[in-house]
A and B are shown apart, each in its own frame.
Chain A
Amino acid sequence: MRIENTRYEQPVLATRGLAKRYGRGCPSCYALTGADAVSNVCPRCRTVIACQGVSIDLYPKEVLGIVGESGSGKSTLIRLLHFDIEPSEGEFYLRIEDKATKKNIGTDFNGRNLVPLSPYQKRQIRNFAMGIVYQHPHLGLRMNISAGGNVAERLLMANWRNVADMRERAGELLQKTEVPVSRLDEAPRNFSGGMQQRVQIAKAMSNRPMLLLFDEVTTGLDVSVQARVLDLIRRLQKELNVSAIVVSHDLGVIRMLTSRTIVMKNGEVVESGITDQVLEDPQHSYTQLLVSSAL
Chain B
Amino acid sequence: MSRSLETQPLLSVNRLCKHFIVHNRDGKKIEGFAKASFDVPKGSVLALSGSSGIGKSSVLKCIYRTYLPSNGSVVYRSRMYGTVDLAALSEYRILQLRAFEIGYATQFLKILPRVPALEVVAEPLLDGKTSPARARTEARRILGRLNIPAALFDAYPVTFSGGEQQRINIARAVVARPRLLLLDEPIASLDEASIDAVIDLLSELRDLGTTMVIVSHNSKILKSLANQVYRLPAKPNQITPCEADRLDAGASHAG
Residues of A within 8 A of B (CB): 1-3, 5, 9, 59, 62, 227, 231, 234, 256, 259-260, 273-274, 276-277, 280-281, 283-285, 288-289, 292
Contacts and interface: CB of A to CB of B under 8 A. Distances in A.
B68 to A, nearest CB: 6
Contact of A2 (B68, B80, B91, B93): B80
Contacts of A3: 79-80, 100
B240 to A, nearest CB: 19
B160 interface: no
* In the complex, the 7 A-B pairs of residues with the closest C-beta atoms, listed nearest first: A285-B23, A281-B67, A276-B66, A274-B91, A280-B66, A3-B80, A59-B92
Contacts, number: 55
B223 interface: no
Q: Among the interface residues A2, A259, A276, which one has the most CB atoms of the partner chain B within 10 A?
A: A276
Contact of A292 (B24, B61, B81, B93): B24
A245 B186 CA distance: 35
Interface of B: 20-24, 61, 65-68, 79-82, 90-96, 100, 112-114
A260 B90 CA distance: 12
Contact of A277 (B23, B68, B81): B68
A9 B96 CA distance: 10
Given A2-B79, A277-B66, A277-B68, 18 more contacts: A2-B81, A3-B100, A5-B80, A5-B96, A9-B90, A9-B92, A227-B114, A256-B112, A273-B91, A274-B94, A274-B95, A277-B65, A277-B67, A280-B66, A281-B66, A281-B67, A285-B24, A288-B24
B22 A288 contact: yes
A62 B21 CA distance: 30
Contact of B68 (A273, A288, A289): A273
A260 B92 CA distance: 9
Contacts of B92: 9, 59, 62
Contacts of A285: 23-24
A3 B129 CA distance: 13
A84 B109 CA distance: 41
Contacts of B68: 273, 277, 281, 283
A260 B114 CA distance: 22
A1 B79 contact: yes
Nearest to B93: A9
Contacts of A283: 21, 68
22 contacts: A2-B81, A3-B79, A5-B80, A9-B90, A227-B114, A234-B112, A259-B95, A260-B95, A273-B68, A276-B66, A277-B65, A277-B66, A277-B68, A280-B61, A280-B66, A281-B61, A281-B67, A281-B68, A283-B68, A284-B23, A285-B24, A289-B24
B124 to A, nearest CB: 13
Nearest to B23: A285
A276 B65 CA distance: 9
A281 B20 CA distance: 8
A154 B65 CA distance: 41
Contacts of B67: 277, 280-281
A256 B21 CA distance: 26
Nearest to A6: B81
B220 to A, nearest CB: 30
Contacts of B95: 62, 259-260, 274
Nearest to A257: B112
A288 B79 contact: no
Nearest to B21: A283
Contacts of A273: 68, 91
Nearest to A234: B112
Contacts of A62: 92, 95
A234 B80 CA distance: 27
Contacts of B91: 260, 273-274
A64 to B, nearest CB: 11
Contacts of A292: 24
A58 to B, nearest CB: 11
Contacts of A234: 112
B125 to A, nearest CB: 13
A3 B101 CA distance: 12
Nearest to A61: B128
Contacts of B80: 2-3, 5
A267 B67 CA distance: 26
